[in-house]
Amino acid sequence: MKICIISNSHHTNDVRLYYKIARSLAKTANVYLICADGVRQESVNPKQIVVDSESGRKALRPLYSRAKRLKPDLVICVEPLTLLVGIYLQKRIGCKVIVDLHEFFADAFAERFSISTRWLMKLFYLVAQRWLLGKIDGAIAVNEQILDQALPARLKAKSIVIPNYPVKNVWDSHRETPVEISMLTELNFDMVYIGGLTHSRGVFKILKAASRLRTKIPRLKILIIGKFHNAEVEKEFTNIVDRYNLSGTIYYQRWIAADKIGLLLKRCRVGLWIFDPRNRRMRRALPLKILEYYAAGLPVVSTKTPLMKALVAKNEVGELCEYTSRNIADAMHKILSLPKDEYSAMSQRAIDLVNTRYNWEILEPKLLKYIEKVITT
């Protein structure tokens, strides 16, 4: 049995695609992860194949050509655009096609537009997405809410929820340190934020909270890893760092491969997941980053929402706060001021949560059973 996973925006070493889905499916099939960027490796199953492309859209044709040559029994599409490739392969070679839905694509698309037109752009996107999804054989999603939003009614019975939980001991294996982060791996950080850098993801609240907290913790160090939404956000970020004299407090790393993040998490004490609770997409989604923080033994400071209360407060693995720089700074200070034994206990609870409840190994049999059903039905 051959399975192709195709993506026009992810790398071949993407954690969910390679370390979870591809490696799990490789236990029962020959798996080919075909992307427009990343590591090339075609000697060991699952194989990692990179096609030449100048952009995500231009990757569609080479993705199709490479997958067609392999004649897979099943194609797993990762982005809505790659559904076009999957559907065409379905018609030409008769393979089964499913999709892996890992975010609220319609909401993310609509956020690019003005507030007055977002509802219309979201509706347009949903209509187009449901039309495409109506032509395939099944769907995997990281939560029920994404399924409810994205899928046409007839496909829901053929779909399955497989959350994006981390692999057990994901950060324990030895990995070579990339040159670009070698200096950072020699430092210790009080807190770390990993994710997109936008207004709604709270990056400016973090900066202002850091300015407040520095009066209590003069040698405070915060590591921020991520890409800026646009040049204007990056300019504003730089201006605030300069204005509040945070150059010795804020350490910024633009991007590192997902499988190398653990090298930096091990140098940190607390994970940050701050977001504007008015953002419906972020309020509803279970963030993988929090679980990755837990896997590294990091307690979390996050925005107070019902989902975060269940994930953080109920499990006593961090602090929740209102979405203001003052409250964020207070929550940061509370965790950083914990006695050593209390911090260690909280850190161990975070690790135990991943090892016993939120890990990919628990989900793997469910994935294998679903894939077998799709191919044989």
Tokens representing 72 are 């897979």
Q: Quick one: pLDDT band at residue 104, thresholds 50, 70, 90?
A: confident
Per-residue pLDDT at 366 exceeds 80:
yes
Tokens representing 262 are 């653990």
Cα within 13 Å of Cα(39), Cβ side? 17
> Is 0.75 surpassed by the pTM of this model?
yes
Residues 6+ apart with CB under 8 A from 203: 193, 197, 224, 226, 233, 237, 274
Per-residue pLDDT at 6 exceeds 60:
yes
Per-residue pLDDT at 174 exceeds 60:
no
Task: State pLDDT tens for residues 133-150.
Answer: 999 999 999 988 888 888
Q: Quick one: pLDDT band at residue 109, thresholds 50, 70, 90?
A: confident
Tokens representing 137 are 């054989």
Quick one: how many helices (H) and strands (E) in the chain? 16, 13
- Largest Cα–Cα distance of the chain, in whole Å? 65
Q: Quick one: pLDDT band at residue 157, thresholds 50, 70, 90?
A: confident
Which residue has tokens 């609509």? Answer: 110
Which residue has tokens 């950060």? Answer: 171
Bridge partners (DSSP) of residue 77 are: 6, 99
Domains of the chain (ranges; CATH) run: 2-165+359-376 (3.40.50.2000), 179-356 (3.40.50.2000)
The phi and psi torsions of 178 (rounded to 5 degrees) equal: -65, 150
pLDDT for 281 equals 79
Distances in Å between the Cα of 176 and the Cα atoms of 257, 261, 265 are 12, 12, 15
Out of 68-72, 151-155, 180-184, 251-255, the most confident range is 68-72
Residues 6+ apart with CB under 8 A from 138: 96, 98, 99, 155, 158, 159, 160, 370, 374
Distances in Å between the Cα of 4 and the Cα atoms of 24, 72, 73, 272 are 13, 6, 8, 35
